Structure 1
């Protein structure tokens, strides 16, 4: 009982840290975008966490953990129903690491993250109503179904050499990243982003807030990865947190160095996204790597960020916060790295990792396209030119994030 209590307290602390990440995402997104869209982005992030938790309670948790099922989709029923023992009280033998309620809340915090990734990529030009419909369907159905394929004991868990994703490089980050890619393509770029085919910088309005957001996300990742140990095991938890931090540090430093060589300036936003790329990259195998492996994986992710952002621009896709490079491209890299580094490294493991990446790519691209294309052809997903130029805060919310500052401008 004492061990269960210790493990459960650790899991609840990690749950709180993952919840705190939603503040980090919010600050990062508003910092890297323009002042006139601040309220709109904050509204989306608050909607995602509140509605995401409710959806995960009603259907998501039992879609993701359906018990015995066909390996692709199963459903254990609506709502939460805690396992009871013979005395009619909560069965504490449910799991050696935590209770049923802690399990739900920890997993629920992850569920909302996938849609938050999309929020940043489509910032400054998506209609709020259609975005909220997308969130309901994607978080309520798509994310938990894909989660069941591995974390719920589905077909990827039963491969001859099982696929492996410790804390969600693919199951969380690229699930959001694939949807972000589809959404950015269907939406089109912001007005003024491309001129004569060349990308133009649209600076964010508050880089200090973006920096604070990244540091909060790094802190939150201690819960994201540390909690994925699913107990307070001292050796494994400590190693996971060391690997997480080293990968983040290496990702930031390499992104800063590569971007400085490439663009001949010290770009803080590349530094910040390099940290996030390192975090996403190590997430799939944080418990399987040595510290040196973690540095290599994070460092490669940092280089990927610089070239990934350039590739997204070259394809004329407009991603204001770099979400596609960070969460999708580095998510894929981190997942494949499990087959190249650490305890599980082997040719067979690498093939299984490829199967996992491909499975998520196909399902997430198809489902997000169906949802967003249907919305585009029915209610429309992009705001008018006037709304975009004047800002979504005024047109969709009827207020300003910084009213006193705006008054002083005139």
Structure 2
């Protein structure tokens, strides 16, 4: 019996870690997607943001964020402070049996959670691309990953007041994706649009990305990483029920992504008379975000429909945000925020334990905290160091201004 318990513990820990590795690979997906959807003169800077934010997220969550999320009393509002990871599970605790026996390593739990934090922060980088100062962005990343996200994370997955009212979010449509979008929205409002994006007469000018093959590769990487994002959130694979649940989650995740692509592509064709690749890419991500709140309870067909609705929503949202002059170069606010709301609202459609009331209150709590806290931080950073590059630097590209190099130097003309 002891050997079986230890084997199950080892298997679940390994599965948890490998799912965390898949989610970490999503950092590459965000990097490629964003690098493909910005102009070539801003590529090196957006890549610098992505690798730096990942390092900052890992460090701040280690020093502070993990304990803010998980060291406090159930049902509470204010989290406790803590430091580093603490002790590990002992063999005696694992083999003791019972409902309280740990079934995976505490380090595996931290590793899986930290890559979620980095995902939330990655959402912000694309929305504020091409005109934000690098170091202002990184300063915000310190606060977002160390404090803002962990507080709302404590309210939900950490057993705080939002969890206590019955809010349900399996893998983070609201907790991760909408939260990242809320922080991005606050930044976009303070930052303003890119120069030339909107005309004085209200016209909207498209600013195409420099490398759509790269953006497509990034989308496929994110699609792949999402199997770890949702599949790992089952937390266990060592018994028949858990293994079946993991399989169902992955099938549903895939079905939703496919549905999102198809719906977005059809709507783009009907609306714009063209098969818009960028809308198809965002449709895939929208389907993935939509199913993330509840990838277990629906059937595969139901998951496809949830993803299709997400794909339709994201196309409409991207157009509407442009009309509101909210400049989001990669569509992050629409994909992760607007569709994240849909994902949370879709949970009661298949999960009888969830209620629309709890879902709405939970989303409002998460959004209000992350948006308002982020808005304060953005405004403080703007007052202290400024958050936007100069018009000349924006025109020449932030690669040279912020990084002193270009991603595509062979295209430069040297005098």
Normalising by the smaller structure, the TM-score range is over 0.9
- Residues 93-108 of structure 1: matches in 2 within 5 Å? 96-108=102-114
Q: Residues 75 and 162 of structure 2 are in contact (CA less than 8 Å); yes or no, is this contact kept in structure 1? A: no
- The equivalent residue for 2:308 is 299
1:127 aligns with 133
Q: Are 2:409 and 1:403 aligned? A: yes
CA distance in 1 between partners of 2:335 and 2:144 (Å) = 20
Is the 1:338–1:345 Cα contact (8 Å) retained in structure 2? no
Unaligned 5+ segments in structure 1 are: none
> CA deviation digits over 1:5-55, x for unaligned, max 9?
111111111011000000000000010000001111011101111111011
CA distance in 1, matches of 2:101, 2:216: 38
Aligned residue for 1:194, secondary structure, equals coil
CA deviation profile, 1:284-309 (whole Å, cap 9, x unmatched)? 00122111221111010000011000
Listed one character per residue, the Cα deviations across residues 173-207 of structure 1 (whole Å, up to 9, x for unaligned) are 01100111111111111011112212111010000
Q: How many residues align?
A: 403
Residue 58 of structure 2: aligned partner: 53
Tell me the CA shift for residue 70 of structure 1. Answer: 5.5
TM-score (norm 1): 0.95
- CA drift of 1:68 comes to 2.1
State whether residues 83 and 91 of structure 1, in contact with CA within 8 Å, keep that contact through their aligned partners in structure 2: no
Which of 357, 363, 367 matches 1:351? 357
Please state if 1:342 is matched with 2:350. yes
Deviations 1:351-373 (A, max 9, x none): 10000111112111210110001
TM-score, scaled relative to structure 2: 0.94
Alignment of 1:279-290 (within 5 A): 279-290=288-299
Match for residue 163 of structure 1 among 152, 161, 167: 167
Matching of residues 1-400 of structure 1 within 5 Å: 1-68=6-73, 71-75=76-80, 77-83=82-88, 85=90, 96-159=102-165, 162-195=166-199, 196-232=201-237, 233-339=242-348, 341-344=349-352, 349-400=355-406
CA–CA separation in structure 1 for the residues paired with 2:52 and 2:182: 21
Pairwise CA distance, 1:86: 9.2
Q: 1:249 to 1:79 in 2, by over 3 A?
A: same
Residues 78-130 of structure 1 show CA distances to partners (whole Å, capped at 9, x for unaligned) of: 1111245498x999988644101100101010011111101000000001111
**Structure-2 change in CA distance of 1:62 and 1:199 (3 Å):** same
CA distance in 2, matches of 1:111, 1:26: 16
Aligned equivalents of 2:275 and 2:13: distance in 1? Answer: 44
| Mapped contact 2:89–2:102 kept (Cα < 8 A) | no
* Residue 317 of structure 1: how far off its partner (Å): 0.7
Contact 2:198–2:325, Cα closer than 8 Å, also in 1 = yes
Aligned in 2, Cα 1:311/1:101: closer, same or farther, shift over 3 Å? same
Which runs of 5 or more structure 2 residues have no equivalent in the other structure? 1-5
Distance in 2 (alpha carbons) for counterparts of 1:237 and 1:100: 21
Q: Secondary structure, in 3 states, of the residue corresponding to 1:198?
A: coil
CA-based RMSD: 1.8
Secondary structure at the residue paired with 1:19? helix
Q: Distance in 1 between matches of 2:8 and 2:353?
A: 32
Deviates more, 1:306-315 or 1:90-99: 90-99
